[in-house]
Every structure is written in structure tokens, then in C-alpha cells.
């Protein structure tokens, strides 16, 4: 996981060579996969490498957080485009608290990610979390006026 998070592609290739498909699909005790770690840190080259090997772009951790949600919440537009556009990650999947990638991006004020998910991917603007809050409500609550205007 450290190699994926740090972007150490050479080490990842060694691990895949040693462990094969097991490494690509396996997660740690929290359910975190190498793909999730790379997505969270914005390591697009690692994300492409792992997804190209068959890593599941919809694999969720024990809180039901997917790699796309991690990337969206951190504002990593390139990774979001890769996962949602190239590898068909589910843009409307929700975590254990009902938060989608769009809600996470809106809350974080990541305008480019919000625009891409809502405009290009057709993310559900009316999706609500477990508290009944939409992406628009979250953006407004966080004072993200540019995101509010976008939505």
C-alpha cells in the first residue's frame, strides 16, 4: 500500500511480479486496496497501472468508500477522469454515510471535479447522504459558492 500511495511504480511492479493478481485485488485490514491508496494521493500513473491490471475501480473499503470517492474528495481531477471515464467507476455509488463522489467533491470545494462528475458523467445531483443532504447543500454549508453556482 505504501508503494501505491507514494507513487513507487518500480516497487509496485516488483510486488505484482512476486504476488500476481492477488496483490492487485487484495486489501489490508481496513479493506484498503493499492488502487484506493493511489487514488487518495492522486497518483494517476499508479492508478492507470493497477486499473490496467484489472484492479476493481468500484472496490470499496469497510466504510464502503471507493477509489473514485477518495480521489473526488481530495480534488484529484485526473484520477477522477481516469476512474470514471476510462474504467467506468460508478459515479453514483455511496459510502456507508450515503456520501457520493459528487457530495465529497462539493464539500471539499473541488469545482473541476464537481463539474466533471455532474456534467460529463451524469452524477445524480439529487442524491442525498444519510442526513438528507445533497451536494448543493454540502457546498452551501461549507461556503463553496463557486461549487453552488456550478451545481
Q: Which fold has domain 2-150?
A: 1.25.40
Signed CA dihedral, 51, 69, 9, 21: sign only: negative
For residues 37 and 1, is the Cβ–Cβ distance under 8 A?
yes
Strand-pair partners of 94: 100
Strand-pair partners of 100: 94
Query: Rounded to two decimals, what is the model's pTM?
Result: 0.92
Quote the DSSP letter at residue 27: B
| Angle (nearest 5°) at CA 117 between 111 and 120 | 110
pLDDT tens-place values along the chain, 151 residues long: 777 788 888 888 888 888 776 666 777 667 789 999 999 999 999 999 999 999 999 999 999 999 999 999 999 999 999 999 999 999 999 999 999 999 999 999 999 999 999 999 999 999 999 999 999 999 999 999 999 999 9
Residue 21: count other Cβ atoms within 10 Å of its Cβ.
11
Cell triple for 147: 461549487
Q: Which of 141, 139, 80 is nearest to 150 (CA)?
A: 139
Amino acid at each position: 500500500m505504501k508503494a501505491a500511495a507514494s507513487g513507487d511504480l518500480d516497487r509496485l511492479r516488483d510486488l505484482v511480479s512476486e504476488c500476481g493478481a492477488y496483490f492487485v485485488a487484495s486489501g489490508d485490514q481496513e479493506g484498503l486496496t493499492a488502487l484506493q491508496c493511489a487514488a487518495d494521493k492522486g497518483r494517476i500513473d499508479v492508478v492507470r497501472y493497477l486499473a490496467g491490471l484489472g484492479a476493481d475501480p468500484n472496490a470499496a473499503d469497510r466504510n464502503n468508500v471507493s477509489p473514485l470517492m477518495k480521489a473526488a474528495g481530495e480534488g484529484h481531477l485526473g484520477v477522477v477522469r481516469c476512474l470514471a471515464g476510462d474504467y467506468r467507476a460508478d459515479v453514483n455509488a455511496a459510502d456507508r454515510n450515503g456520501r457520493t463522489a459528487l457530495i465529497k467533491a462539493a464539500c471539499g470545494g473541488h469545482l473541476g471535479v464537481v463539474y466533471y462528475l455532474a456534467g460529463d458523467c451524469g452524477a445524480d445531483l439529487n442524491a442525498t447522504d444519510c442526513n438528507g443532504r445533497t451536494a448543493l447543500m454540502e457546498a452551501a454549508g461549507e461556503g463553496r459558492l463557486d461549487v453552488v453556482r456550478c451545481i
